[in-house]
Chains A and B, each alone.
Chain A
């Protein structure tokens, strides 16, 4: 599958990081749908064909891991990557496929997304 046909749901409560993350992913060739909260993300998932969920961990209302639980409960085959700016791995981080740091930079992000997609049998090349 071409990266251009892969849609990533990008979830973050902060607007600027969310927009910038969306932009770099788009630059990488992915189609990106943004959501500002967990609840909004779950709504998007109902209506849009999403290939991968990339969510911030620390969000008001619903945290990244809580969102992951919902996603995995509904769609067990939906890849979920959590991205966090804090140095603490939450206890239920294991629900997500990956838990990465925000300071890894765009390269780590791209690499992780590609790896996870590959694990789910979605080729990006």
Chain B
């Protein structure tokens, strides 16, 4: 016996000697011996220790053994504690001891027999130990029961939760088949509570067509205690029958006795519907496949299908077979191989196609969509056709290529048409005429390079704009007439005035035609501006020549008698026979005659003082003329601004040249009656494109100016701005003289801030070679007028 199992033995006696003797006696029991010298001390020990046996002397002072025993019995913890009284044998004592009915109470009479005491204590100690062991076992048992109960409860809860959360209907029935539990799903579906569901009372939720069968099979399974399975419709609370797969299994205990049934129902309506749908889809798919095959065969586009990544089998539809010249349904894989000399050959831009480069094969191999690709096919008969092809991969479920589909369109006709159109377009670009297409609203659709050159508008700037906005066309008879002609005859020809990009006016010979379909107008415009100008210049020259011939005739008829009259008056002037009055009349006549002579000299007459040209300094000549004008200029308050950069030496006839500049300077001075500045410049210059230098004389005034309308006629004969004062021939003659020298005369009149500046510029070739010929014929630029005139105020 180990220490842990030692029982506590409390010995109570007021005499230490007795206690000593008990200890000696009990020592060999090997229990734990505790001494108490009084009842009070004993109680204290009892409270602190688990005491198995109390050995007490009945007779003790203060509280005797009986009193202590009573006190113990009143305490619930000590009611069953074993007590051994030690007492002298008194009858009263024994009666009292017997009075302790319950509990373990014994007594030993004095003198104490050690063996007896040891035996009695030993019994009680052992009893105490057994009691304690039992108590412990009992406690453990209770705890285990408690634990088990909780586990069971939890497991039941889990089962319910599980049973309620599964999508199936679930139920349990006892061994007789009476259902005592349905899961929540059942109620959700059927819509009744458990109280309303009698045993196997499913008939009211069964479809009438299936109910008998279901119940019969279920009943036989129950009798045989075998598992049951069936498929049948069940009525939902919404009044709809849904298909269920129902199962039930017998549950047996450890002795193989049937204790209950567990059943489930799985809704398989969706599954059935899905199966139905798959069946339908399959049918449709087959129909589509058949349709596709039919379409492929009748399609005018060539289609080839490569059946595997290596393109060992390539099938062609009817159209492609025709294009390639092979029989329908034939495997054309080997034909695509460039090693094959069969049937047809494939090229791309003139190069025989390697099979690695073939778009369909490449696509089947790589799984990459091909770009549009042009193929040239040389057919067995040597004919070349052009196909436009593209290929798409056929992918399996893993996304890898399992083949490819290629489409081939015969573009031979289109290519030929394109070539033809390109040729036509080139022709249009070659034309020097402006060729224009515009829609009925005037929006420009086509603009060839001839139009670009004529109007100065590049096509990218002008296409899409309105032709009227751009060219500002002026129609000779009005636009409506042109439109009517186009509408009635589909054509119109005529000259139009239009404007180029830089504002230049051009005249074009225009042919318009309504495009077939009537939605656009084609126009061809030829620039005839230069031609018209040349014609105009020719007409003017002819008129001037005619005028010259007339002038010649008149000159002869006038100048001859004029000379005679002049001579007559000369003779008459100082004739001695005339009196004062007659001489006065003669003088008047002679003066008036001078005026006639002057005008005919200007127009019809001429003279040359010398037959050979002489060296003339134009600056000196201008000074001579200025000297004649000095008085007039002072009188009119005209400032002179003279700048001679050159002596201006040319070979010519001084009188003629004097006439030119006298005229120009005279005009300038006359234009400034209220004063101004006369500017005379002489300098040398060279005309662009001419090697010979020229002498340039400019005469500018700040006078009344010349308006553009007058400017146009300035160099025409009999044109004057001075009404009766001028002959209208000065500038005409001046121009004639200048042109005879191969020179030019031009003018510019501008108005700047209210001030007119009129400039005449004469350029004379520097014929600084003695005896150089002087032109007798005017150059063709008969009328040369510089623009930019703003006219008179």
Contacts and interface: CB of A to CB of B under 8 A. Distances in A.
A85 B559 CA distance: 5
Given A85-B556, A87-B555, A102-B559, A16 B607 contact: no
The 7 A-B residue pairs whose C-beta atoms are closest, nearest first, are A85-B559, A20-B567, A102-B563, A101-B605, A101-B607, A103-B605, A100-B607
Counting chain A CB atoms within 10 Å of each CB, the highest count among B567, B601, B610 belongs to B567
Given A87-B604, A101-B605, A103-B597, A58 B556 contact: yes
Given A87-B552, A87-B604, A89-B606, A103 B563 contact: yes
Contact of A86 (B555, B561, B571): B555
Interface string B515-559: 000000000000000000000000000000000100110011011
B608 A99 contact: yes
Interface in A75-125: 83-89, 91, 93-94, 96-106, 108, 112, 115
A21 B571 CA distance: 10
B564 interface: yes
A74 interface: no
A23 interface: yes
Interface of A: 14, 16-17, 20-21, 23-24, 27, 58, 83-89, 91, 93-94, 96-106, 108, 112, 115
A76 to B, nearest CB: 15
B570 interface: yes
Interface of B: 548, 551-552, 555-556, 558-564, 566-568, 570-571, 594, 597, 600-601, 603-611, 776
Nearest to A91: B776
A17 B564 contact: yes
21 contacts: A17-B567, A20-B567, A20-B571, A83-B563, A85-B604, A86-B604, A87-B603, A89-B606, A89-B608, A91-B776, A93-B608, A98-B609, A100-B609, A101-B559, A101-B606, A102-B559, A102-B560, A103-B600, A104-B607, A105-B597, A115-B609
A97 B611 contact: yes
B421 to A, nearest CB: 64
Nearest to B553: A86
A105 B563 CA distance: 7
Nearest to A57: B556
A105 B606 contact: no
A93 B607 contact: no
Contact of B601 (A14, A27, A97, A103): A103
Contacts of B607: 99-101, 104, 108
Contacts of A106: 566-567, 570
Given A86-B555, A103-B559, A112 B609 contact: yes
Contacts of A108: 607
A112 B611 CA distance: 12
Counting chain B CB atoms within 10 Å of each CB, the highest count among A24, A27, A85, A86 belongs to A85
Nearest to B603: A87
A93 B611 CA distance: 8
A93 B552 CA distance: 16
Contacts of A98: 608-611
Nearest to B558: A85
Nearest to A18: B564
A93 B87 CA distance: 206
Nearest to B608: A99
A20 B606 CA distance: 21
Contacts of A89: 606, 608
A27 B567 CA distance: 11
Contacts of A100: 607-609
B556 A86 contact: yes
A24 B571 contact: yes
A21 B604 contact: no
Contacts of B601: 101, 103-104
A102 B605 contact: yes
Contacts of B610: 98
A17 to B, nearest CB: 4
B563 A85 contact: yes
B552 A20 contact: no
